[in-house]
Amino acid sequence: MYAYNMRHNQIYSKEIVTPDNSNHNITPDAVRSPGYPLFLSFFTGGLPNRIMINNIIFTQMIISILTLYFAYQFFKNFLLKFWGAIAAFLVAICPHLIIANIYILTETLFCFFIVILGCLFCKFIFNPSNWRACLIGAIIGICSLVRPGLQYLPVFMIFFFLFHYGKKRGGLFFLVMMIGFIIIYSPWTIRNIITLKATSDKTLMINFLHHGIYPDFTYDKVQESFGFPYKFDPRSKEIRNNTASVLKEICKRFKEEPARHLYWYIIKKPAAFWSWNIINGAGDIYVYYVSKTPYNDKSKFEYTYRLMNVLHWRIVLLSIVGSLLVWVPASFINVPAKSILCARYCALFLLYFTIMHMIGTPFPRYSIPLRPYLFGMALFTLYFLFSACKTLWNIKNNS
């Protein structure tokens, strides 16, 4: 409806409007960011129908294929072609990314843009320049319009620029990147200020914090509430009254049960965020129920599903190890310095999203578009360890 109203009524609103009732006053809002609706608007010549849905799904399939190409281009910047090809293969058979194409959700488009962002960042590392930094900021702006969770990444990346390029040069790169980001993202903010008298819809942050305060995604250990505990909490309306009331509730819960909530926020939230099973949906790899799936009746799909299921936590563990190893001085290991820098960007990107969802809601669905980064970091860990063993072996033989 955002896409339809944008195209036919020139108003950004989720109100259900048809040609029959298009004359009534439509109330603008900012509950959803405009990136994905803008993409959908190319298909909304009329009201939703099966042909329109099929066209969107087909286009998302094409985008997914392009994502696979850019993922390999991204990986080969910091992996040998052999390791990069394996990482790209994991992207190609990832059931979460495949199934995402059939839903009218942001996953496919967001994944495409963050993979392009990875490619650009690696190109910047190999050949730093102001125009590349500005382009990186612009792509972050586009990504943030598709999914607003990325809008704080530029601030997070200031540490990368200052650490690797120094205060003066790194500071300049950061400022230029921010200019690129502001150019793309600021029109949305300005629109909200003019139309809604606010930079964004305040319920977004409130819900993000509120939905993540329930340990194990359940209300008062009621099994029926799993995945949607806030719907069972009789105090939900009071808690989500404003941001301050949510923060007050979080502090109250930490005071009453500090160990339980500390364990939930520090340990179980990251584990939940990177888990295999889609918690707030149809379950397993499905956000919504499907009438049929090749993962049940096609042997090749079933084999890839089983492979990825078995490898899942091993991949997550390798990514964690790699995200730590890249910060250890590795001058004695035969890994190019610029490959290390690319891997550090990848590690920071994964860390950013993990920390963000530790603070808020850690639903696994939000980690689906990040899988290419996860696979790339896991394969870098193997590449790193293989190079270290090879170097140590050579040292031992030479001595």
Q: Is 286 helix (H, G, I), strand (E, B) or coil?
A: strand
CB 166 within 8 A of CB 210: no
Residue 21 falls within a domain, yes or no?
Answer: no
| Cβ partners under 8 Å of residue 265, min gap 6 | 358
The CB-side HSE value for 33 (13 A sphere, CA atoms) comes to 23
Return the percentage of the chain with pLDDT > 70, whole number: 96
Check residue 74 and give its pLDDT.
Answer: 95
Confidence (pLDDT) at 22: 60
Question: Mean pLDDT lowest for which of 309-318, 327-336, 362-371?
Answer: 327-336
23 — pLDDT class (breaks 50, 70, 90): low
Please count the other Cβ atoms lying within 10 Å of the Cβ belonging to residue 387: 17
Q: Summarize pLDDT for 239-289 with one digit per residue, the tens.
A: 998 899 999 999 999 999 999 999 999 999 999 999 999 988 888 999 999
Give yes or no for a contact between 216 and 261, defined as CB atoms under 8 angstroms apart.
no
Q: What is the pLDDT of residue 333?
A: 65
Q: Is residue 119 part of a domain?
A: yes
* Interval 1-5 mean pLDDT: 92
Question: What pLDDT score does 264 carry?
Answer: 95
**Residue 14 is assigned to a structural domain of this protein:** no
- pLDDT higher than 70, residue 319: yes
CA-closest candidate to residue 109, choices 72, 66, 138: 66
DSSP 143: H
Structure tokens at 142: 């586009």
pLDDT at 397 over 90: no
- H-run or E-run covering 63: helix 50-75
pLDDT digits (tens, 9 = 90+) for 341-374: 999 999 999 999 999 999 999 999 999 999 999 9
pLDDT at 332 exceeding the cut of 70: no
Query: Looking at residue 330, what is its pLDDT?
Result: 59
Q: Positive or negative, the Cα torsion across 289, 295, 301, 303?
A: positive
Residues 309 and 307: their CA atoms lie apart, in Å, by: 5
What is the structure's pLDDT at 366? 94
Mean pLDDT of the chain: 91
CB-based contact 6:15 (threshold 8 Å): no
pLDDT recorded at residue 297: 81
Minimum mean pLDDT range among 62-71, 99-108, 215-224: 215-224
DSSP H or E segment with residue 239: helix 236-239
Q: What's the mean pLDDT in 197-214? A: 90
Number of structural domains the chain divides into: 1
In the prediction, which pLDDT does 328 show? 78
pLDDT of residue 2: 93
CB 31 within 8 A of CB 195: no
Token code pair at residue 33: 């960011």
Residue 234 lies in a domain: yes
Work out the percent of the chain whose per-residue pLDDT is above 90.
71
Q: What is the pLDDT of residue 194?
A: 93
> Does a structural domain hold residue 15?
no
- What pLDDT was estimated at residue 362? 94
Q: ∠ at Cα 370 (13, 280), nearest 5°? A: 60
On the question of pLDDT at 395 being above 80, the answer is no
Please say whether the beta carbons of 213 and 253 come within 8 A: yes
Query: What span, in angstroms and rounded, lies between the C-alpha atoms of 160 and 180?
Result: 17
Decide if 5 is inside a domain: no
Residue 336 CB contacts under 8 Å (≥ 6 apart), including other chains? none
Do residues 139 and 120 touch, judged by C-beta distance below 8 A?
yes
DSSP assignments along 102-120, one per residue = TSSSSHHHHHHHHHHHHHH
Axis crossing angle, helix 299-325 with helix 337-359, rounded to the nearest 10: 100
Three-point CA angle 168, 114, 49, nearest 5°: 150
Two structure tokens written together for 321:
């190890």
Quote the domain boundaries for residue 328. Answer: 31-398
**226-237 pLDDT per residue, tens:** 888 999 999 999
- Is pLDDT of 189 > 90? yes
Confidence band of 318 (pLDDT split at 50, 70, 90): very high
Decide if pLDDT at 49 tops 70.
yes
What is the rounded end-to-end Cα distance, in angstroms, of the chain? 70
Looking at per-residue pLDDT, the higher value among 242 and 142 belongs to 142
Q: What is the pLDDT of residue 399?
A: 65
Say whether pLDDT at 334 is over 80: no
Please report whether residue 16 resides in a domain.
no
Given the structure tokens 């790699």, which residue do they identify? 322
Decide if 3 is inside a domain.
no
Q: Residue 367: what pLDDT?
A: 96
